[in-house]
A and B are shown apart, each in its own frame.
Chain A
Amino acid sequence: EVQLVESGGGLVKPGGSLRLSCAASGFTFSDAWVSWVRQAPGKGLEWVGHIKNKAAGWTTDYAAPVKGRFTISRDDSKNTVYLQMNSLKTEDTALYYCATNHNFDYWGQGTLVTVSS
C-alpha cells in the first residue's frame, strides 16, 4: 500500500524558516518524482514545486511565488523528500501535501504551516 506521511508543520513568524518532510513507503521511491502542493485555508490547490528522480538528475522546479525561498531535496536511502522554506510570508500559510509523479497519483494527508506574528 502506497503511503506518504508529511510532518514538520507548525507556527512560525514571518521571515522565519521551517523544514517539512514527506516519508514514503509502498512503492519504488527512487523512481518517483515528488511534488509539494499547498492549500491555503478555504482555498484551492497550488503547485509549489517538485524534485525529479535520479534518472532525471534529481533536478528541481518551483512555482514563481516560492522560487528563491523554498528548496526541495530528497534522500532516497530514507525514502524521504524535504521542503526547506525560508523567508516565510503570511501568504505561505497552508496545508502542505506531498504527491507523487506527473499525475500526482498518490497524496499524503498534509501538514499545516501557519505563518503569523
Chain B
Amino acid sequence: QSALTQPRSVSGSPGQSVTISCTGTSSDFSGYNYVSWYQQHPGKAPKLMIYDVSKRPSGVPDRFSGSKSGNTASLTISGLQAEDEADYYCCSYAGRYTYVFGSGTEVTVL
C-alpha cells in the first residue's frame, strides 16, 4: 500500500487561504468517506483536525475545512495564522480494516 500523494509544501501569507490535496487510487479511498487530516507541529504528536472528509472535532477552528472529489481529498485553511505552520497528513480507510496515510505537506506562513 503506497502512501497517498500530497504536495511536499504549500505556503501563504497571514489571512490568505491554502489548500492541500491528497490523491490516491480508488482502492485507497475504498469508496468510503473516511478521510481524516492531522496537524503535526515539530516534536509533537499529530492532532486530529478533520474526520469523515469534512467534520471538525470540538475545538478545531472553523478555518479548517475538508472536502473530497473522486480520488482526491482536500484540506483548506482559510484566514491563515502563524500557529497553522506545521506538517499536515491526510489518512484514508483503505478497506479490509487497513488505513493509509499521505506523504505529508509542510505548511509555511510567510
Give chain A's interface residues, CB within 8 Å of chain B. 35, 37, 44-47, 50, 61, 63-64, 97, 99, 102-110
With the chains together, A99 CA to B96 CA distance in Å? 19
Contacts of A104 in B (CB 8 A): 36, 38, 46, 48, 91
Contacts of A61 in B (CB 8 A): 96-98
B97 pairs with A103, CB closer than 8 A: no
Interface size on B, residues (CB 8 A): 25
Given A97-B45, A103-B48, A44 contacting B103 (CB threshold 8 A): yes
Q: From the candidates A44, A64, A107, name the one contacting B101 in the complex (CB within 8 A).
A: A44
B45 pairs with A47, CB closer than 8 A: no
Given A50-B97, A102-B34, A105-B57, A45 contacting B48 (CB threshold 8 A): no
What's the dominant secondary structure at chain B's contact region? strand
Contacts of A109 in B (CB 8 A): 45
Q: From the candidates B34, B46, B91, name the one contacting A97 in the complex (CB within 8 A).
A: B46
With the chains together, A64 CA to B36 CA distance in Å? 21
Given A64-B1, A103-B52, A107-B47, A45 contacting B89 (CB threshold 8 A): yes
Q: Can you offer 14 A-B residue contacts whose CB atoms are under 8 A?
A: A37-B46, A44-B102, A45-B38, A45-B46, A46-B3, A47-B101, A61-B97, A63-B1, A63-B98, A103-B52, A104-B48, A104-B91, A105-B48, A110-B45
Rounded to whole Å, the gap between the CB of A89 and the closest CB of chain B is: 18
With the chains together, A108 CA to B46 CA distance in Å? 9
Interface of chain B residues 56 through 79 with chain A (CB within 8 A):
57
Rounded to whole Å, the gap between the CB of B69 and the closest CB of chain A is: 21
B3 pairs with A47, CB closer than 8 A: no
Rounded to whole Å, the gap between the CB of B93 and the closest CB of chain A is: 7
Contacts of A47 in B (CB 8 A): 91, 98-101
